Amino acid sequence: MKVAMIGWEYPPFKVGGLGTHCYGLTRSLADKNVSIDFYMPKTKHSLKSDKDNLVIKEVGETEIFPYDRLGNKELAGQFFEAVYRYNDLLVRKVNGKYDLVHCHDWLTMKAGVVLKEKLDAPLVLTVHSTEYDRSGWLYPNDWFISIEKEGMEKADKIIAVSHFTKRVIVEKYGINPDKITVVHNAVYPIGESEKKKIVLFLGRLTIQKGPEFFLKAAKKVLKHEDTRFVVAGVGDMLPDLISQAINLGISNRVIFTGKLTEEEVKHIYKISSIYVMPSVSEPFGITALEAISAGTPTIVSKTAGVSEVFRNCLKVDFWDTDEMANKIIALLRYDALRKTMSEQSKQEIELFTWDRVAEKTVDVYRGIA
């Protein structure tokens, strides 16, 4: 079976779970003798695969993070223009005989819809998040929704990363549930290190991820416990979050790291005592699995897809900062609780492999190819 898979990012050029997913999925599919041509924007240094059945094909260049750099660019400009041009380039440059086309999120949907007809091949669409998630359900943009709706309607099969996401696709986009398969994400183990008294938030600093609730909980924890809170990541909320920390009187106990490298991300997971994912709307939440794989007890929002499938973590409503603070304090104070959570979650996480994700994805492929 030969698949044209179209993405927007691929490690080390990534900003979130979509890139992590594409990396784990493509490599595991290749191990199952599925031939993958993975199309992505061109990087400064050409990426090459060490898998016989996986070929990385770079299409055009873009100034948009994580691909921003100096030099001549076939694909340039502001974000939306860049995405449009990338999709146009894909339509022109993806050629050959494929058994199916597999796209990820709205970033590649327009190309996927056209390539389905051009290549006379079925279209599989993986939905990692929707506009409702990204907007925090406050002001969803109709422009994004229309792109997503067309892609979902034209796809022969949709893979959702959680049952939560499947419900959104059915209820908000009017898609037949029979063509949606839920395949939960996985994680590559990170390993452990000596823990320090650090409570960690790691993710894009956007409304969707709920970092403001993390800071409100931090204020309440610091009345009772001497610890440090780390906010790792970048995003448009960063200036407001720094101001919030100052206004709350906790700026001396909160560290804003800015952008971290892959190795720095692994390191901060390993040394943190607690990881908190207070997302307003989180289709899955790979970061929670990454923290758990580093032996870090984890608190997740009840509106995160990972909470529906992973048992050995503490769950809280994202808006309930009192309860969030209580759970942080409990984990800081009680060594036995931290140890038990860490040991049991490490056993459970052994089930969350990319081989399992690839096997379920192949089942989807077989149903339409």
| SS (HEC) of 95-124 | CCCCCEEEEECHHHHHHHHHHHHHCCCCEE
Whether residue 125 lies inside any domain: the answer is yes
Give me the domain span that covers residue 34.
2-186+353-368
pTM as predicted = 0.91
Is residue 115 within 8 A of residue 271, CB to CB? The reply is: no
Classify 163 in phi/psi space as left (phi over 0), alpha (psi -120 to 50) or beta.
Answer: alpha
User: Is 95:111 a contact under the CB 8 Å cutoff?
Assistant: no
Closest residue by Cα to residue 82 from 55, 121, 108? 108
Quickly state the pLDDT bin for 14 (edges 50, 70, 90). confident
Q: Which residues contact 329 (CB under 8 A, 6 or more apart)?
A: 221, 224, 225
Q: Are 294 and 177 contained in the same domain?
A: no
Average pLDDT, the chain: 93
Residue 97: other Cβ atoms inside 10 A = 9
| Domain-embedded: residue 122 | yes
Whether 290 is in a domain gets the answer yes
pLDDT band at 74 (very low <50, low <70, confident <90, very high): low
Q: State pLDDT tens for residues 15-53.
A: 778 999 999 999 999 999 999 999 998 877 778 899 999
Q: What are phi and psi of 360, to 5 degrees?
A: -70, -35
Taking alpha carbons only, the member of 27, 14, 15, 17 closest to residue 290 is: 17
Residues 319 and 359 in one domain: no
List the beta bridge partners of residue 327.
none
Do 24 and 115 share a domain, yes or no?
yes
The token duo for 81 is 């223009």
| Residue 193 within a domain | no
Same domain for 163 and 209? no
- CATH code at 8? 3.40.50.2000
pLDDT-based confidence at residue 67 (cuts at 50, 70, 90): low
Q: How many CA atoms lie within 13 A of 363 on its CB side?
A: 12
pLDDT band at 71 (very low <50, low <70, confident <90, very high): very low
Same domain? 322 vs 263: yes
Rounded Cα gap, residues 112 and 135, in angstroms: 24
Q: Is 303 exposed, middle or buried (0-12, 13-18, 19+ CB in 10 A)?
A: buried
**Are residues 359 and 283 part of one domain?**
no
- The dihedral through the CA atoms of 233, 237, 239, 241 has a sign that is negative
Give the DSSP letter string of 26-94.
HHHHHHTT-EEEEEE---SS----SSTTEEEEE-----STTS--SS--SS-SSHHHHHHHHHHHHHHH-
| Shared-domain flag, residues 145 and 294 | no
Q: Write down the pLDDT at residue 72.
A: 45
User: Is the domain of 139 the same as that of 172?
Assistant: yes
Mean pLDDT of 87-104: 96
For residues 94 and 206, membership in a common domain is answered with no
| Residue 62: pLDDT over 80 | no
What band does 246 get if pLDDT is binned at 50, 70 and 90?
Answer: very high
Say yes or no: 158 and 257 in one domain.
no
Whether the upstream peptide bond of residue 278 has omega within 30° of 0, thus cis, is: no
Q: What is the pLDDT of residues 127-178, one digit of tens each?
A: 999 999 988 888 888 989 999 999 999 999 999 999 999 999 999 999 999 9
Q: Is residue 66 part of a domain?
A: yes
State whether 60 and 95 are in the same domain.
yes
- Alpha-carbon gap, residue 100 to 120, rounded angstroms: 8
Cα 16 to Cα 19, 60, 124, 131, 231: the distances in Å are 6, 21, 21, 16, 15
Tokens (6 digits) for 152? 């979902």
What is the rounded average pLDDT of the residues 7-19? 86
Helix or strand (DSSP H, E) at 299: strand 298-301
Largest CA distance in the chain: 63
Kind plus residue range of the DSSP H or E element containing 356: helix 354-368
Please write the tens of the pLDDT for every residue from 305-332.
999 999 999 999 999 999 999 999 999 9
- The DSSP code sequence of 186-248 is -----------SEEEEES--SGGG-HHHHHHHHHHHTTT---EEEEEB--TTHHHHHHHHHHT
- Whether 7 and 121 map to the same domain: the answer is yes
Identify whether 63 is part of a domain. yes
pLDDT digits (tens, 9 = 90+) for 187-213: 999 989 999 999 999 999 999 999 999
The count of domains in the chain is 2
More confident call, 61 vs 272? 272
Tell me whether residue 191 is in a domain. no
192: in domain = no
